[in-house]
Structure 1
């Protein structure tokens, strides 16, 4: 994306760069969140174990795209006064809150943090749920045509409904 923007700035400008990085961040977030329900549905399949081992990598990749999205926004605005003035805009505010929630998740997505934080690590990483909701609110509120965002919200909702149902069923049996 950076290469494309640098080489063809007239045809692939700010709007494409910020949109594409945001899209990839959201898609990778959905893929990350889909791993648990897939593992619960297909327990004995080797590929779900492979996905579980790479779930953290997917989450970090999602954060990297979100960080790129944020960096593009900051470079474009280039003025702290302008950035702070836009905080009163709802889609900007929820985007910043989502990014703030993802920051500790990205920082602690390593084996050392897992060992040091022990059970607190899992509690901390449950921040992904409110962060995901805020991410998709940001997408809906900032989109020129929110239809695509709403479709992805439906997919995310389906992923989470399946996860909750499977986890509840496992506790009962």
Structure 2
């Protein structure tokens, strides 16, 4: 039974979708607070913020499992430049996720201080990389979860841009 699940053609895609979903949850607290201020009254942003790091690490683990399964299913030729081009997006995304996951603890926050916050700004680059990754890698062979992944990544990116626009407008009024 265990091999059946892992060998199911789309299992790696399901893991990737779950990783994306968990990642989006990590982005929601600030976006909800700024774009939809009424959510402050619901405590949803506070609850999400409380578990943001743990959810981020879960997202990393799901993403790593996604990448490992796909890597194992497809033959990676270390002597072929084409293999590196095919996997470059995933490697960059996984590298950023790894850095963020390793530093998602109180010790790193204390040691890195302001640099911790700067480093964790990489999460916003991930948002754009993931949208590109999903649309390019799934182009031409969609599963039924592909549109959900594209809509979710596009939706959170649009909400992020709205958040930045609101923050920009707020800061420009202060000057």
- Asked whether the two chains share a fold, i.e. TM above 0.5, the reply is yes
How many Å separate the matches in 1 of 2:28 and 2:53? 12
How big is the shift at 1:34?
1.7
Give the secondary structure class of the aligned counterpart of 1:81: coil
Which residues of structure 1 form unaligned runs of 5+? Answer: none
Q: Report the aligned-residue RMSD.
A: 2.5
The two structures have a TM-score, normalised by structure 2, of: 0.80
- Counterparts in 2 of 1:1-173, with a 5 A limit? 6=2, 8-9=4-5, 13-40=7-34, 41=37, 42-77=39-74, 81=78, 85-89=82-86, 92-143=87-138, 144-145=141-142, 147-171=147-171, 172=173
Give the secondary structure class of the aligned counterpart of 2:78: helix
Aligned residue pairs: how many?
165
Deviations 1:76-123 (A, max 9, x none): 34656378651122xx21111111111110100001101111111010
Segment of structure 1 superposing worse, 148-157 or 118-127: 148-157
CA contact (8 A) 1:99 1:131 kept: no
Which residues of structure 2 form unaligned runs of 5+? Answer: none
CA contact (8 A) 2:76 2:83 kept: no
How many Å separate the matches in 2 of 1:31 and 1:87? 30
How big is the shift at 1:45?
4.0
The two structures have a TM-score, normalised by structure 1, of: 0.81
**Given the superposition, is the C-alpha separation of residues 66 and 47 from structure 1 closer, same or farther in structure 2, using an over 3 Å criterion?**
same
